[in-house]
A and B are shown apart, each in its own frame.
Chain A
């Protein structure tokens, strides 16, 4: 399937996937993804291990061919990215190989060879930011410093599109902060040619997402269930608390709720997490209670919830039919 016209929408989107699908043997890992990563934004790709994030990223980078569907990266088919386009992309994957015997200065020379542009000042300021000296051997650096030197190699090439696959995995809090600082500053600027920078970042660290991302995309079981702004996500995915007379209401009343993510009973009340673009969730809960034999005037309150709690509730869903249907509303 190839729904995309050449260069269609490439002005607005850094990555544009249509029906992107990948099998490994008979195992379906990425299942008909349609998404557009807007230019100039930081998009966080979230999902449990095995949700298909890395496979998606590898297809967008042209490191892996899709079984079906197509991905256009900076306007080009990802199966055949030109060197010119690859020069505009920075790719950083956690724990990728760095030659330990090299000194940082030699690694810089190695990294800049073949690059159309190299910002030596940025490289220097980034390694200083991670407290690295250029005469240090790469093999002697701490894990956080190795992440810093990898990031410096990628950012000094002034990429327009930066793709990071779990860059903070295993980093201590100080290195993580240094990484976030570097990313915030980088994403807020423009390239030498004045193009807005785009960042796609896969991660499990919701606190970092809250700080640095504009948009979030959530993958569950190879499918993309949500792709929207952080603000929209927290508005439309909500936790609700219900005080209701237990005796009168069916224990399964919540099955009727459109977009239910999670329902649990806790000391005399119900806690529901609902993801639904429809505005009146409260009325929906009241109706479901009535159908379930309870009182429609039970107390129903929206609870204040952190992004972290919402994402955890969202990711732990079984992905029920009603949840999937409703989440078409939550999409961008």
Chain B
């Protein structure tokens, strides 16, 4: 079930790469609520990274409320819950939307095209959810 890829020499630290890919797997519905995550040691071994790096990524995911840990049983995808206020969630997404919009405009895309691209991506997520 692990489909995490690590790139060294990238601008993104390895623990953040793990966090981002687990988040994406949960957001897309590939990993469902209650699914077990690999143990820290086995993921470290699989990715060939220091186990503290994996532990750090899991700690971040726990803090963000995306996974739960059950003593002795490991880590599981958590039931969706809101740990940030609506305003904070919007702020986090806006930070990502801004560079997207400026890149799209620089490349000469129209507003409609940008909106349609977003809709297509949302559609893909919904399909994998079904």
Contacts and interface: CB of A to CB of B under 8 A. Distances in A.
A306 B50 contact: no
Interface in A34-53: 41-42
B13 A231 contact: yes
A42 B48 CA distance: 14
Interface string B2-28: 000010111111110000000000000
Nearest to A308: B9
A207 B6 CA distance: 11
Contacts of B62: none
A184 B13 contact: no
A319 B10 CA distance: 26
A185 interface: yes
Interface string A179-219: 01100110110000000000000000011101111100000
A305 interface: yes
B4 to A, nearest CB: 13
A231 B48 CA distance: 18
Interface in A152-197: 177, 180-181, 184-185, 187-188
A234 interface: yes
Nearest to A188: B51
Interface of A: prevailing SS: helix
Contacts of A207: 8-9
Contacts of B8: 207-208, 210-211, 308
B52 A214 contact: yes
A306 B16 CA distance: 13
Nearest to A208: B8
A287 B56 CA distance: 36
Contacts of B15: 231
Interface residues of A, number: 25
Interface of B: prevailing SS: loop
Given A184-B49, A184-B50, A187-B50, A210 B44 contact: no
B89 interface: no
Interface size of B as a range: 10 to 19
Nearest to A187: B50
B44 A188 contact: yes
Interface string A102-138: 0000000000000000000000000000000000000
Interface string B95-117: 00000000000000000000000
B45 A306 contact: no
A306 B51 contact: no
Interface string B28-69: 000000000000010011001111100010000000000000
A79 to B, nearest CB: 32
B14 A181 contact: no
B40 to A, nearest CB: 8
A210 B51 contact: no
Contact of A306 (B11, B48, B49, B52): B11
A304 interface: yes
B48 A177 contact: yes
Contacts of A208: 8
Interface of A: 41-42, 177, 180-181, 184-185, 187-188, 206-208, 210-214, 230-231, 234, 304-308
Closest 9 CB pairs of A and B: A304-B11, A207-B8, A188-B51, A210-B8, A308-B9, A211-B49, A306-B9, A180-B48, A212-B50
16 contacts: A184-B49, A187-B51, A188-B45, A188-B50, A206-B9, A210-B9, A210-B14, A211-B6, A211-B8, A211-B49, A212-B48, A214-B52, A231-B13, A234-B13, A306-B11, A308-B8
